[in-house]
Amino acid sequence: MNPLATVPLPYNALICRYNEIATKGKNRTHFEDLLVRGLRRQLEGIGKLRITKERGRIFARLRDEKARFTPEACQILRERVPRVMGAASVSPGFLVTPEMSAIEETVDTTFMNVYDAYVQSRPKNTQIRYAMRARRNFKAFPLKSKEIEIHFAERFLHQCPQLTVDLNNPEMCVDVEVRHKRAFISYERIPGPGGLPTGSSGKLLALLSGGIDSPVACYQMMKRGCQLNFITFHSAPYTPPELLDKVGRLVTALNGFQQKGRLIAVNLLPAQKLIRELCQDRLRTVLYRRLMMRIATHVARMLGDQALATGDNIGQVASQTLENLSVISRATDLLIMRPLLTFDKFETVALANKIGTFDISKHEVPDSCTVFAPQRPATASILEDVEAEEAKLDADQILTLCLAETHQLELPDLTPIPLTEPRKRSPRRA
């Protein structure tokens, strides 16, 4: 348990740090604005915020400057900061004037409460590894960063017998930032996902199954600033209703990291029956996947999505050999993002656990890929052979059949509604 969760400190501000955004040039302000938007969206439950941006940092205070963040608000912060794409870390803390007296007063009135919480969280007489991280950007401040750290170490070490200085791996860490207009003191860093803020890298349509890989691939693309819609394929009544319920729960979990994306469901069964009757058994899996790409391409263009995303991983299953991935890719002229190509399964499972999708994905439910699946699927298909099999089919008829069985599902109850193009925003008046 986090010892600081038990300390009701009167925090008056938040600081948000970012990493990759700092590498941006003239459009850096755009990325910062998107990060602020993401912060506001995720932290809506803690009150109305007043945001101040400084180079490398974003500060937030409650609109009522006399108000303080409640313990409940801090808990919301700990739960939701990991969902703020683009944020490296966020800390609740104390915003004060950039004067040594103000910093000393704040530390003096809060440090012992934090120390006592750490003492009570562990066995008696256990040493607590401590460090202060001071950062001085305000060059007129009388003490340098190292001198600030030494000043407070001398102030508290003799009062706190269980503290031991450990600059490399501290448990209890005090951050002090001194800037030109303000200073900030904090005792905890809540890690964010990093990357780029939502909406900074365009829109994708993600092919989402009920498995472990595709939700993790979605998260990876969101971490790169992409806004996602989702498309899933089923084969009702051969696949059970639990499949769509499972995918719906995955989308709900993934939408926690972004603005709400749409879920599109396609019944692939009419096309699968035709492929089973007319085409070579060993090429069915590749034919199914190419059809999924064509349908996804059509839907992506309807929704205004610029590319597709999948959870493909080299060599994991028959359809994911280099040869088959190449043949499947030729079914669309859209860019296909495959962020998990080089992941091993342990890495994928670890990330699925971190983002909260593993417990949903691990429950096995039959999906479209298992319906009429060949016993010996081709692992090195040749494009000309696959196209020869597709020539036995009426491509327009198959696409029409599948699109007739395509709906948007409203979450959380999965109510099917007609698939429509998104409304175009009216241009803003000057």
Residues 343-361 pLDDT 10s:
999 999 999 999 999 999 9
User: Average pLDDT, stretch 307-321?
Assistant: 90
User: Average pLDDT, stretch 240-265?
Assistant: 96
Interatomic CA distance for residues 169 and 171, integer angstroms: 7
Q: Is the pLDDT of residue 430 over 70?
A: no
Q: Is the pLDDT of residue 429 over 50?
A: no
CATH 3.40.50.620 describes domain 203-417: yes
Here the tokens at position 120 are 């009570």
- DSSP three-state, residue 369: helix
Residue 48: per-residue pLDDT: 87
- DSSP three-state, residue 242: helix
User: Average pLDDT, stretch 142-167?
Assistant: 93
Higher pLDDT, 281 or 370: 281
Residue with tokens 């009701």: 8
Interatomic CA distance for residues 222 and 19, integer angstroms: 16
Residue 426: per-residue pLDDT: 53
Q: How is the chain split among helix, strand and coil, in percent rounded to 5?
A: 40, 20, 40
**Residue closest to 299 by CA, chosen among 228, 236, 247:** 228
Contacts of 362 (CB under 8 A, 6+ apart): 212
Spell 224-246 as b/e; 16+ CB within 10 A means b. bbbbbbbbbbbbbebbeeebbeb
Q: How much of the chain, in percent, has pLDDT values that exceed 90?
A: 78
Residue 424: per-residue pLDDT: 62
Q: Is the pLDDT of residue 8 over 70?
A: yes
- pLDDT band at 418, cuts 50/70/90? confident
User: Average pLDDT, stretch 269-276?
Assistant: 91
- pLDDT band at 370, cuts 50/70/90? confident
Q: Is the pLDDT of residue 425 over 60?
A: no
User: Average pLDDT, stretch 153-165?
Assistant: 92
Q: pLDDT tens across 77-86, in order?
A: 999 999 999 9
User: Average pLDDT, stretch 331-348?
Assistant: 95
**Residue closest to 313 by CA, chosen among 297, 325, 296:** 325
Average pLDDT of the residues of the chain: 92
Q: Is the pLDDT of residue 365 over 90?
A: no
User: Average pLDDT, stretch 185-204?
Assistant: 95
Contact 217, 206 (CB under 8 A): yes
Interatomic CA distance for residues 90 and 68, integer angstroms: 17
Q: How much of the chain, in percent, has pLDDT values that exceed 70?
A: 98
- pLDDT band at 220, cuts 50/70/90? very high
Q: Is the pLDDT of residue 428 over 70?
A: no
HSE, CB side, 13 Å, CA atoms: give it for residue 271.
33
Q: Is the pLDDT of residue 422 over 80?
A: no
User: Average pLDDT, stretch 185-213?
Assistant: 95
- Number of Cβ within 10 Å of residue 344's Cβ equals 11
Residue with tokens 């008056």: 12
Interatomic CA distance for residues 257 and 85, integer angstroms: 7
- pLDDT band at 338, cuts 50/70/90? very high
CATH 3.40.50.300 describes domain 3-191: no
Name the residue ranges covered by the structural domains of the chain: 3-191, 203-417
**157, containing H or E segment:** none
